[in-house]
Homo-oligomer: A and B are copies of this chain.
Amino acid sequence: MAEKLWGGRFREEMDESFRSFNSSFSFDRRLLRHDIEGSIAHCRALKEAGILSEEEHERIIEALSEIRREIERGDLELSDSYEDIHSFIEAALIDKVGALGEKLHTARSRNDQVALDLRLFLKEEIQETIERIKRLQKRIIELAKENMGLILPGYTHLQRAQPVLLSHHLHAYYEMLKRDRERFLYTLKVCNVLPLGSAALAGTPFPINRDLVARELRMDAISSNSMDAVSDRDFALDFLYSCAVLMMHLSRFSEELILWSTQEFGFVELPDSLSTGSSIMPQKKNPDIVELIRAKTGRVYGNLISLLTTMKALPLTYNKDMQEDKECVFDSLDTVKGCLEMMTILISKIRFKEDRLKEVSAEGYLLATDLADYLVYKGVTFRSAHEITGRIVLYAMDKGKELDELTLEEFLKFSRKIEDDIYDWLDIQKSIERKRLPGGTSMETVKRNLLEAEKEISS
């Protein structure tokens, strides 16, 4: 098979090491199915335009489908000697149908073809990514439901702040992932535009029906400007960025799971089947899975910077630089899919340590804010209430007591407004229940949120 799509104008053979440096076939072969899918749609359009006869059209489509099947079965060798996936498929086609195969590239350039392939690929993969996000969300909601009622300290600055329901805490991650899903949906829309018909950069003189091709490929729209269409990689950047934010969210979740599984926090037990040991310290059980997810945030950020850098200051239209758009996309995609799967598996198997959570929620002056709020209800201005409470906490710390262990007499030394009902405000369950506002941590609010979430992910 011939291995490149050009050459009439050249006097010398291609340098061998350059050929291999230049070739994208080692990675763009991943676009094989999409390249064939696009070619089939293009072939239909050529028939409609009278460039291919009905019969030629059928022979080509049949051959392309066969190539796809052969590759899936491993019957066709993907030799590294090809310049790219497009050259490979055209050569395989010509092998099957002879000179007829040479007609397929009419009204098309690799510039619009490769843009199409990557868009089709991302279209499919973004949908898969969204499904995986949903699965993780579903598992989060299940975990939240299973642990309904469990209280743990909410933190700010990694200092214990106020008690919250574990289910409320978990639902926060549901919300982050919800924004991720929306961002990927936005990116999907951006991908869903047909560049084919732009040819090299200027459009084509052949009367291709671009709308028909778009419909055939289930794309929402056709590109409006041929020069933009072949030099635009916004859709790939949008994808890389969506991956970066998703990984940031997963890195936060991972960080918390790492903390929670330390001996010091001790909130959670990771399953043996998802932990690792040490080659030297026999007692160790390490949360590698979440450490790796946290770490891989770096590479997904790196991929985003990589393509942003590559695209900077490129003059119109297509430049070879854009060939570098694929590996970073593939790497972020694989990373994100792997991390989503791992996180889903992991949280299907973690177990919260109820006793420890109870213990820590009873300590640490978690209800100081409730005390301040109590004072406000009694007519103290918030700023004074805050000040008074601060002094009470200091006093209690000196005495080695928690707030609810102080006597009314002790309270009265700080404010005459405090009465016996203060102990009601220092009850952790009631504290939780008072946060009934939408978005608050009360049982009622959280249950409503979980219900809402279940509806969203089942749709």
Contacts and interface: CB of A to CB of B under 8 A. Distances in A.
A231 B186 CA distance: 23
Contact of A202 (B158, B256, B284, B441): B441
Interface in A123-163: 154-163
A418 interface: no
A169 interface: yes
A321 B289 CA distance: 10
A51 B21 CA distance: 50
Contacts of A372: 280, 282
Interface residues of A, number: 195
Interface stretch (A30-38, A67-75, A303-311, A404-412): A303-311
Given A22-B292, A172-B231, 8 more contacts: A5-B383, A21-B338, A83-B276, A161-B201, A168-B227, A169-B316, A251-B313, A297-B309
Contacts of A308: 244, 248, 298, 301, 309
A135 to B, nearest CB: 13
Interface in A49-87: 51, 83, 86
A422 interface: no
A39 interface: no
Interface in A231-267: 231-232, 234, 237-238, 241, 244-245, 248, 251-252, 254-256, 258-259, 261-266
A342 B437 contact: no
A11 interface: yes
Contact of A12 (B83, B272, B371, B387): B272
B280 A369 contact: yes
A438 B323 contact: no
Contacts of A17: 341-342, 345
Nearest to A200: B280
B100 A381 contact: yes
A294 interface: yes
B382 A106 contact: yes
Contact of A162 (B7, B164, B201, B439): B201
B155 A316 contact: yes
Contacts of A296: 324
Contacts of A288: 22, 157, 320
Given A102-B381, A310-B298, A11 B394 contact: yes
A417 B289 CA distance: 36
B164 A202 contact: yes
Interface string A197-208: 111111111111
A406 to B, nearest CB: 13
Given A372-B280, A381-B102, A179 B175 contact: no
A234 to B, nearest CB: 5
Interface string A281-300: 11111111101101111110
A409 B61 CA distance: 39
B202 A319 contact: no
A279 interface: yes
Contact of A254 (B14, B309, B313): B313
Interface string A1-33: 000111111111111011001100000000000
Contacts of A291: 157, 319-321
B159 A262 contact: yes
B105 A200 contact: no
A162 B281 contact: yes
Contacts of A156: 111, 200-201, 230, 278, 281, 284, 286, 317-319
Interface in A85-139: 86, 90, 94, 99-106, 108-111
A328 interface: yes
A252 B316 contact: yes
Given A9-B394, A163-B202, A316-B169, A439 B226 contact: yes
Contact of A272 (B10, B175, B197, B224): B10
Contacts of A435: 202-205, 226
A295 B306 CA distance: 9
Interface in A168-225: 168-169, 171-176, 179, 183, 186, 190, 197-208, 210-211, 222-225
